[in-house]
Amino acid sequence: MQDIFRDKLSIIANDDLLIKAIKAVFDEEVAKEQNFIQPNDTNILIGEKYRACEKAKQIIENSFAEIVGYQQGKKTNKLFNKER
């Protein structure tokens, strides 16, 4: 990731209220999509929709965890441990 992006993410990460506000927007959008079951949906289709929604939630949570990791330079580059 470019340094300019890291700097901007650091600014966002240090503002807890801003993080909560952005996360609330994502949470509202996910909540809207959870009414996805239609009367004619098969069990397989319902399962696919449910997994897609859960995966989206996981991606959002992981993304916010990544952003919070940029707080005041806490983010470090992850190095691969060859000894493991």
In a domain, 63, yes or no: yes
CB neighbours (10 Å) of residue 12?
14
Number of domains in the chain: 1
- Mean pLDDT, residues 54-78 taken together: 82
pTM to 2 decimals?
0.70
In a domain, 79, yes or no: no
Residue 15 contacts residue 72 (beta carbons within 8 Å): no
4-27 pLDDT, tens per residue? 888 889 999 999 999 999 999 999
In a domain, 81, yes or no: no
